[in-house]
């Protein structure tokens, strides 16, 4: 127990109080999740992948969170409706909607529509809590959005003119709305340990997704367990699930939803870098321009904080 507490205190001192580092790592892990979600869409059904990532993530968390989960259990019981609602929005609905959207939309469409997430968070924060945003932050968001679009469209105006909605895009929009609401409502989370709160979110999400997973399986979209699916579930359970959610929740706690949402613009940056490293893609001028604009936009919106 002493070693465990020492480890947690060391992590909190060196990592957990650095919101921009935590948010950057969050987006790095989510970038890998996006690439996997698109690459294995024919191998792994969307609800099955979502269910297993949270179910396995829950049991991994138990190894570290059990003492805190036991002490915080009365708070979980008292606030179960709020925790379940947060879990439904950001843990259960968001990945399911997003994975379903990736089944039928293009990577370009999905990427372009994701650029609306920081704006959706700002709008939701205003509607729910009347949070204001400074002119500097508006300029930063706008500059970062232009940079993200430049990368996603590969510097071609023709790509943007060919954009057209399809049913998959509607699922992506629903995912964006769900996660924007989750990000803003995190400020209402009960006072409890981060690990026990995350374990409660994962546990509720698993329960909510279980009947949908059974329905999907009986409907003919059974998950095939092989090395591809096992490695995929292992990655998404550890990195985009446990670590990313833990880091994102802490980032929102420290700097607020509006600031945290801005880091979503790093998704095309990391995705491009991964494509160069893993797929042999070359560095293009639009990469340089887009990445520069994104970093400038984040700097403008977070300067002095």
| 242: helix, strand or coil | helix
The string of pLDDT tens digits covering residues 171-195 is: 988 999 999 999 999 999 999 999 9
* pLDDT score at 57: 94
Phi-psi group of 222: left, alpha or beta (phi > 0 → left; psi -120 to 50 → alpha; rest → beta) = beta
The string of pLDDT tens digits covering residues 61-119 is: 998 899 999 999 999 999 999 999 999 999 999 988 987 887 777 666 777 778 888 99
Mean pLDDT of all residues in the chain? 86
Query: What is the CB neighbour count within 10 angstroms for residue 68?
Result: 17
pTM of the model: 0.87
Q: Tell me how far CA of residue 96 lies from CA of 40, 51, 88, 279, 293, in angstroms.
A: 14, 9, 10, 27, 31
Rounded Cα distance between 234 and 220, Å, is 23
* pLDDT score at 305: 59
Answer whether 115's CB lies under 8 Å from 148's CB: yes
Burial, 215: exposed, middle or buried (Cβ in 10 Å; 0-12, 13-18, 19+)? exposed
Domain segments of the chain: what residues? 21-302
pLDDT, mean of residues 269-286 = 77
Cα angle 225-202-126, degrees, rounded to a multiple of 5: 125
| Per-residue tokens: 298 | 């984040």
* pLDDT score at 142: 92
Residue 301 scores a pLDDT above 80:
yes
The string of pLDDT tens digits covering residues 14-37 is: 678 889 999 999 999 988 877 776
């Amino acid at each position: 127990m002493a070693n465990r507490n020492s480890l947690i205190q060391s992590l909190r001192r060196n990592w957990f109080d650095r919101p921009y580092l935590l948010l950057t790592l969050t987006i790095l892990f989510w970038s890998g999740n996006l690439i996997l979600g698109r690459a294995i869409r024919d191998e792994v059904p969307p609800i099955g992948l979502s269910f297993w990532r949270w179910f396995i993530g829950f049991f991994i968390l138990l190894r570290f969170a059990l003492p805190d989960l036991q002490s915080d259990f009365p708070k979980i019981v008292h606030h179960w409706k709020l925790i379940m609602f947060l879990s439904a929005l950001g843990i259960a609905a968001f990945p399911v909607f997003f994975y379903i959207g990736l089944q039928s939309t293009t990577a370009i469409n999905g990427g372009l529509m994701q650029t609306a997430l920081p704006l959706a968070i700002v709008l939701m924060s205003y509607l729910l809590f009347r949070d204001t945003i400074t002119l500097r932050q508006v300029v930063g968001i706008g500059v970062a959005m232009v940079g993200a679009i430049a990368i996603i469209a590969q510097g071609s105006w023709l790509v943007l003119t060919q954009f057209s909605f399809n049913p998959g895009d509607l699922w992506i929009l629903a995912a964006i709305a769900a996660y924007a609401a989750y990000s803003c409502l995190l400020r209402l989370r009960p006072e409890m340990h981060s690990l026990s709160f995350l374990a409660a979110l994962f546990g509720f999400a698993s329960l909510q997704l279980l009947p949908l997973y059974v329905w999907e399986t009986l409907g003919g979209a059974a998950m095939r367990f092989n090395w591809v699916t096992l490695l995929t579930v292992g990655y998404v359970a550890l990195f985009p699930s446990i670590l990313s959610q833990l880091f994102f929740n802490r980032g929102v706690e420290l700097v607020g939803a509006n600031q945290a949402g801005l880091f979503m613009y790093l998704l095309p940056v990391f995705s491009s870098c991964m494509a160069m490293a893993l797929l042999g893609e070359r560095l293009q001028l639009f990469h340089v321009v887009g990445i520069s604009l994104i970093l400038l936009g984040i700097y403008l919106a977070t300067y002095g904080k």
